C-alpha cells in the first residue's frame, strides 16, 4: 500500500501533509508546480459551465502567455496565470478586464459569454 | 485578487513533494495506491482525479503489448467515491467528463477498470452508467427509483430495492439472468462466536 497525500500550506514548516490522518509509513506528499500543471489547466477548470467552449481558447491564451511551453518548460509563475485573468475558484472566478493587452485575440462577445456563464454558476 | 486553494499549488516543488502523475505511473502489479483528496477544494479534487485518469489511460493507450504485464500491470482498477461529482449528467461536455467517458467506454479493452460509488445513480452521466458491466444497488427510495436510470430493472426488483436491510445489496451482472441479493458479512468483531 502506497499513500500519496496532498501538500498543504504549512507543509514547508511542519513537514506534514494536508490530510485528516497520516499513515505510519509508505506515504509521500504531492504538489503541483506550474510546470506540472500547464498542460492540465483544462481539468482545473472542468467544473465551470462552458456551453460555448470559451475556456479552451482562454487556456490556450494563458499557455501561450507563459512562454517556454513549446519546449515543455513554461517560464511563468502561478501568479502570472492569475494576473492573466483567472482565479482558481469556481465561485469567485472572474475575468480581469483591466489588462486585456495580451488577449486581443478574443472577440468581446466571447468574454461576455464567459463572464455570464461564471456568474450563473 | 483572491484565490482559494488548499496549498497544493507551489511555485517550485520541494524535495519532499513528488509529481503525482509520475508517481501514479510507477504502479506495479498487486500494488494499491491511495491518493488522498479529502481536504482539497472541489476544483483541486477534479484536477487530481482527472490527472490520475489521464495518466493511467495514457499509460495503457501508449504502451505496446510487450510492456503490459511486464513494466505495467495487466489491469488497473481505479476506485472513486462520489463519481457523480466528476461525471454529472449535464449535456455539455467538459474535460473531466470526457476523461471519465474515455475510461468507461474504452478503458475495459485496455485493461483499465473504473469503480464508481455514489448516492444516486441518476446523478451520473448516462453514458457512464450505460457502459457499466456490473451494478450494485443499496437501499434506494422510490423517488430515485422512478428515474430512467433504473429502467433496466423489473418493477418487482425495483420495489424490493426499497425494502433492503442494512448490509444487503442487489447485484446485477450480465452472467446472471436476474439481479441477485448479496449480503455484506458483519465485521468480524460483531460476529457471534468470534473471539
- pTM score above 0.80: yes
Instruction: Answer whether residue B2 shows pLDDT above 70.
Output: no
Q: What angle do CA B21, B73, B81 make, to 5 degrees?
A: 60
Gap between the Cα atoms of B180 and B169, Å rounded: 8
Domain-wise residue ranges, chain B:
19-132, 134-190
Give the SS3 label for residue B80: strand
**B52 pLDDT tier (thresholds 50, 70, 90):** very high
pLDDT in tens, B69-98: 678 899 999 999 999 999 998 767 789 999
Gap between the Cα atoms of B128 and B88, Å rounded: 10
pLDDT in tens, A90-120: 333 334 333 444 444 444 344 444 444 444 4
Gap between the Cα atoms of A7 and A69, Å rounded: 25
From the list A43, A78, A91, the residue facing B9 with the nearest CB is A78
pLDDT at A83 (0 to 100)? 57
Q: Would you state the torsion angle of the CA atoms of residues B4, B8, B12, B15, taken in this order, to the nearest 10 degrees?
A: 160
Phi, psi at residue B112, to the nearest 5°? -110, 120
pLDDT at A39 (0 to 100)? 86
pLDDT at A117 (0 to 100)? 43
C-alpha cell at B26: 510507477
From the list A28, A33, A92, the residue facing B4 with the nearest CB is A92
Q: For chain B, give the longest Cα–Cα distance.
A: 62
Give the SS3 label for residue B136: strand
**How many Cβ contacts (< 8 angstroms) between chains A and B?**
160
pLDDT at B194 (0 to 100)? 58
pLDDT at A35 (0 to 100)? 86
Gap between the Cα atoms of B106 and B50, Å rounded: 16
Q: How large is the C-alpha radius of gyration of chain B?
A: 20
B32 CA: distance to closest CA in chain A (Å): 5
Q: How far is CA A87 from the centre of its chain?
A: 8
Low-confidence ranges of chain A (pLDDT < 70): 67-70, 72, 80-121
Interface of B with A in 47-66 (CB under 8 A): 47-48, 50-51, 54
Instruction: Answer whether residue B35 shows pLDDT above 80.
Output: yes
CB–CB of B47 and A40 under 8 A?
A: yes
When scoring B4, B9, B33, B54 by the number of chain A Cβ atoms within 10 A, the one with the most, hence best to mutate, is B9
pLDDT in tens, B120-174: 999 999 999 999 999 999 999 999 999 998 998 999 999 999 999 988 999 999 8
pLDDT at B160 (0 to 100)? 94
CB–CB of B17 and A7 under 8 A?
A: yes
* Ramachandran assignment for B175, one of left (phi > 0), alpha (psi -120 to 50 degrees), beta (any other): alpha
DSSP B86: T
Contacts with A92 (C-beta within 8 Å, 6 or more apart), sequence order: B2, B4
DSSP B186: P
Cβ pair B66, B59 in contact under 8 A: no
Q: What angle do CA B47, A73, A94 make, to 5 degrees?
A: 45
B49 CA: distance to closest CA in chain A (Å): 9
**Beta strands of A1-121 (E only): which ranges?**
2-6, 27-30
pLDDT at B71 (0 to 100)? 80
Contacts with B52 (C-beta within 8 Å, 6 or more apart), sequence order: B20, B21, B24, B35, B78
Q: How many CA atoms lie within 13 A of A70 on its CB side?
A: 3
pLDDT at B96 (0 to 100)? 92
pLDDT at A49 (0 to 100)? 75
pLDDT at B8 (0 to 100)? 92
pLDDT at B172 (0 to 100)? 94
pLDDT in tens, B56-66: 999 998 887 77
Mean pLDDT confidence for B103-126: 92
Structural fold of domain B19-132: Rossmann fold (3.40.50)
CB–CB of B13 and A91 under 8 A?
A: no
In B, minimum Cα distance to A79 occurs at B11
Amino acid at each position: 500500500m502506497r499513500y500519496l497525500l496532498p501538500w498543504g500550506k504549512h507543509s514547508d514548516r511542519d513537514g506534514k501533509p494536508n490530510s485528516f490522518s497520516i499513515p505510519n509509513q509508505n506515504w509521500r506528499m504531492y504538489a503541483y508546480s506550474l510546470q506540472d500543471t500547464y498542460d492540465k489547466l483544462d481539468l482545473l477548470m472542468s467544473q465551470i459551465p462552458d456551453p460555448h467552449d470559451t475556456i479552451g481558447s482562454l487556456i490556450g491564451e494563458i499557455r501561450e502567455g507563459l512562454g517556454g511551453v513549446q519546449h515543455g518548460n513554461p517560464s511563468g509563475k502561478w501568479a502570472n496565470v492569475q494576473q492573466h485573468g483567472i482565479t482558481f475558484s469556481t465561485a469567485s472566478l472572474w475575468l480581469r478586464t483591466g489588462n486585456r493587452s495580451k488577449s486581443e485575440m478574443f472577440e468581446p462577445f466571447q468574454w461576455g459569454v464567459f463572464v455570464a456563464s461564471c456568474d450563473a454558476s | 485578487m483572491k484565490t482559494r486553494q488548499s496549498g497544493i499549488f507551489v511555485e517550485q516543488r520541494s524535495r519532499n513533494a513528488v509529481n503525482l502523475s509520475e508517481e501514479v505511473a510507477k504502479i506495479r502489479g498487486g500494488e494499491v495506491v491511495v491518493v488522498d483528496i479529502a481536504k482539497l477544494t472541489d476544483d483541486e479534487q477534479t484536477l487530481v482525479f482527472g490527472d490520475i485518469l489521464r495518466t493511467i489511460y495514457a499509460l495503457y493507450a501508449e504502451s505496446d503489448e510487450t510492456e503490459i504485464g511486464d513494466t505495467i500491470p495487466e489491469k488497473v482498477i481505479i476506485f472513486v467515491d462520489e463519481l457523480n461529482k466528476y461525471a454529472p449528467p449535464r449535456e455539455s461536455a467538459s474535460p473531466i467528463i470526457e476523461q471519465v467517458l474515455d475510461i468507461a467506454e474504452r478503458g475495459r479493452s485496455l485493461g483499465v477498470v473504473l469503480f464508481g460509488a455514489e448516492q444516486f445513480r441518476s446523478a451520473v452521466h448516462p453514458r457512464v452508467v450505460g457502459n457499466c458491466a456490473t451494478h450494485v444497488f443499496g437501499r434506494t427510495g422510490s423517488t430515485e427509483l422512478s428515474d430512467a436510470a433504473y429502467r433496466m430493472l423489473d418493477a418487482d426488483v425495483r420495489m424490493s430495492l426499497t425494502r433492503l436491510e442494512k448490509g444487503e445489496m442487489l447485484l446485477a451482472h450480465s452472467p446472471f439472468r436476474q439481479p441477485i441479493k448479496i449480503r455484506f458479512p458483519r465485521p468480524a468483531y460483531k460476529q457471534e462466536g468470534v473471539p
